[in-house]
Amino acid sequence: MATSDRSGPRVLLGAALVLALAACAPMPPATPDRPSSAPSVTSSALVLVDVDGSGMGLRGRLVDPRTLSDVAGKPVLSFGHNYTAVTAPDGRTLAAVLWPGGSANRGGVLHLFDLASWTDRATAVTFDDHVSQLFFAPDGRQLYWVRPGPMAGEPMMNPDPGVYRYDLASDSQSRVAELPAAFLPLSAALAGERLAIVGWTTGGKIGPSRNTEVYVVDLRGGTVVKRELAGVRAGQVQDLAAFDDVRNVMPAVAWDLPRSRAFVVDAEQDRVAIVDLASATVRGPTAIRPRRSLVDRILDLISTPAAAKAQASTQRVAVVSADGRRLYVSGLRIDLPSADREGNVTPLDLLAVDTMDLAEIGRMDVAGTDLALTHDGQRLLILTNRFPTGQPST
């Protein structure tokens, strides 16, 4: 397991779906007396990205979202070795950074795909490290992203970290705001004319407290407000009084953009900080009020402590309901009993929390590595696996 804070996302070759609608008119539903035809340039289509014939790259195809058959007359376009993409608000443009290789994420190029004509235009904007998120402005005229600082040992890579803007009309990029070189972004979101970024500072001496940080950037004026979430740890930490070695801790971030706020959940403790993105103020962190009985809590206090671990990694994920009233949190912990053994996975329960008073509503014995809500807000989708407690990870 990598122990560097700067390991960052390194996307491996694989198949993926980009949910991009390539036009404005919806496709009519198929009926028995009127067979459906392949979608045209003016009907909805899905961009399917999968592995190409060589097995060394990705390709993008326009397909019928109901049958996944190719749209007639549309070419297959290269999506490089790995990519990050976002669709414009009007659904007609897909912006994507395509990297030619995955070993160091160097040589990435920003591409603009016209989804109506299914054509690709490479821009002059390049990337020499992984950028995990792109954001279109509400009017679709500008594109934003967060460029991380240089990696340890490669000081010449990404020498100018910060928030960047690409203007589609002028085909030019500029830096909106500067960020510290040691800041590692975890998650970001665009709320009106503000870009909020959650992450932590890397490097320095590893201790028991490495707090999560939030930067709120005014995209119009370029001003930056920093808030430190004391008590919500992130990155590499080590309890000085414990026998544990360095642990990698990744908090959960759930964005509630209709109400301009973010929930940041500590990975190891049930406590939540709430960030108001409009005022750049923080509430908490506040402990989640448990629903468990007093007996259960007493048993937790007197239970046998875990044995010393060579390395541990704890990660949580979270999502907010459409009405902003519930926060769902899950995750897992991976322990390495020794350097020459595989990791043991410990699932973390799925929690439902009331966002008003941060009281636990319910708890399920299911662990997820990603959470999402359906568009109607009635169902919670959980990306999970079979995680037998104490068994090697797969």
Residues 19 and 160 placed together within one structural domain of the fold: yes
> How many helices and strands, by DSSP H and E, does the chain display?
1, 28
In a domain, 4, yes or no: no
Q: What is the pLDDT of residue 392?
A: 40
Q: What is the pLDDT of residue 25?
A: 32
Q: What is the pLDDT of residue 190?
A: 92
Residues 151 and 287 placed together within one structural domain of the fold: no
Q: Is 358 helix (H, G, I), strand (E, B) or coil?
A: coil
Give the chain's mean pLDDT.
76
- In tens, the pLDDT along 266-292 reads 888 888 999 999 999 989 888 888 865
Residues 239 and 132 placed together within one structural domain of the fold: no
Residues 173 and 248 placed together within one structural domain of the fold: no
In a domain, 52, yes or no: yes
In a domain, 226, yes or no: no
Residues 246 and 171 placed together within one structural domain of the fold: no
In a domain, 384, yes or no: yes
Cα–Cα dist 285/288, whole Å: 9
- Which of 156, 178, 200 delimits the end of a domain? 178
Q: How many CA atoms lie within 13 A of 353 on its CB side?
A: 28
Return the CA Rg of the chain.
Answer: 22
- In tens, the pLDDT along 330-372 reads 888 877 665 555 667 777 888 889 999 899 888 888 777 888 8
Q: What is the pLDDT of residue 382?
A: 86
Asked whether the predicted pLDDT for residue 143 surpasses 80, the reply is yes
By residue range, what is the domain housing residue 290?
Answer: 232-394
Kindly report the number of other CB atoms within 10 A of residue 45's CB atom: 26
Q: Is 258 helix (H, G, I), strand (E, B) or coil?
A: helix
In a domain, 276, yes or no: yes
59-67 long-range contacts (CB < 8 A, ≥24 apart) are 60/18, 60/113, 62/22, 62/115, 62/118, 64/36, 64/38, 64/39, 65/27, 65/39, 66/27, 66/30, 66/36, 67/36
Asked whether the predicted pLDDT for residue 160 surpasses 90, the reply is no
Residues 151 and 296 placed together within one structural domain of the fold: no
Residues 152 and 17 placed together within one structural domain of the fold: yes
b vs e for 173-202, b when ≥16 Cβ sit within 10 Å of the residue's Cβ?
beebbebbbbbbbbbbbbbeebbbbbbbbb
Using CA atoms, how far residue 61 sits from 77, 98, 102, 124, 250, in Å, is 7, 15, 21, 24, 35
Q: What is the pLDDT of residue 7?
A: 35
Residues 14 and 158 placed together within one structural domain of the fold: yes
Q: What is the pLDDT of residue 19?
A: 35
In a domain, 184, yes or no: no
Give the global pTM: 0.76
- Per-position DSSP letters for 140-190, written without gaps between them: SSEEEEEE--PBTTBTTSS-S-EEEEEETTTTEEEEEEE--TTEEEEEEEE
Residues 70 and 152 placed together within one structural domain of the fold: yes
Residues 161 and 253 placed together within one structural domain of the fold: no
In a domain, 315, yes or no: yes
Among 188, 174, 179, which residue's Cα sits nearest to residue 131?
188
Q: What's the structural domain count of the chain? A: 2
In a domain, 119, yes or no: yes
Residues 20 and 158 placed together within one structural domain of the fold: yes
Residues 118 and 253 placed together within one structural domain of the fold: no
